[in-house]
């Protein structure tokens, strides 16, 4: 299958779009966890999240196909930020909504197979996020992040 140019193109399109959705879920969660119970405004959270997201999209889209638009991803993320509940929802596992949905959407398989396996695929992805959230909790340096945010606000 990986000798088939059309299939390889489909995989490349899918992986960047799924990456963008995963990045969206994880960025919001990470910013929410890092700034929870800190004197940080939602505007500051939004700006930090957008900076992180846009930088990661740019870094990973260097070999993107024409069918992938970093600008479209950034615009969708910006729109998602408008509806983000930073105090509660963003820290919860229920925040991870984009990645399971986009995995099903972009998977290069027949639509009838997607319908049959959609619930299984989405639940598998939601379960996979559990370990990532635990690793993030261990590695996230919220004190440093908030110190940097406070220095930014002072300037």
Predicted pLDDT of residue 77: 98
Domain that holds residue 82: 5-154
Predicted pLDDT of residue 1: 65
Which residue in this structure is represented by tokens 């889209």? 61
> Residue 5 and residue 52: Cα distance in Å, rounded?
33
Overall average pLDDT of the 68-72 stretch: 93
pLDDT digits (tens, 9 = 90+) for 99-142: 999 999 998 888 888 888 899 999 999 999 999 999 999 999 99
pTM to 2 decimal places: 0.89
Reported as a pLDDT band with limits 50, 70 and 90, residue 154 is confident
Our count of domains for the chain comes to 1
The sign of the dihedral angle between the CA atoms of 10, 12, 18, 20 is negative
* Percent of the chain scoring above 70 in pLDDT: 98
Predicted pLDDT of residue 7: 81
Overall average pLDDT of the 134-152 stretch: 90
């Amino acid at each position: 299958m990986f000798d088939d140019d059309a299939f390889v193109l489909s995989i490349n399109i899918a992986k960047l779009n799924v990456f963008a959705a995963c990045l969206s879920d994880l960025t919001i969660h990470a910013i929410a966890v890092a700034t929870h119970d800190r004197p940080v405004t939602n505007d500051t959270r939004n700006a930090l999240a957008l900076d992180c997201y846009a930088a990661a999209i740019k870094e990973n889209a260097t070999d993107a196909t024409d069918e992938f638009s970093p600008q479209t991803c950034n615009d969708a993320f910006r729109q998602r930020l408008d509806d983000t509940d930073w105090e509660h929802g963003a820290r919860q596992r229920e925040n991870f909504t984009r990645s399971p949905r986009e995995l099903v959407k972009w998977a290069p398989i027949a639509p009838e197979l997607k319908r049959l396996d959609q619930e299984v695929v989405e639940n598998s992805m939601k379960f996979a996020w559990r370990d990532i959230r635990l690793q993030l909790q261990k590695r996230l340096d919220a004190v440093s992040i908030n110190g940097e945010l406070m220095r930014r606000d002072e300037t």
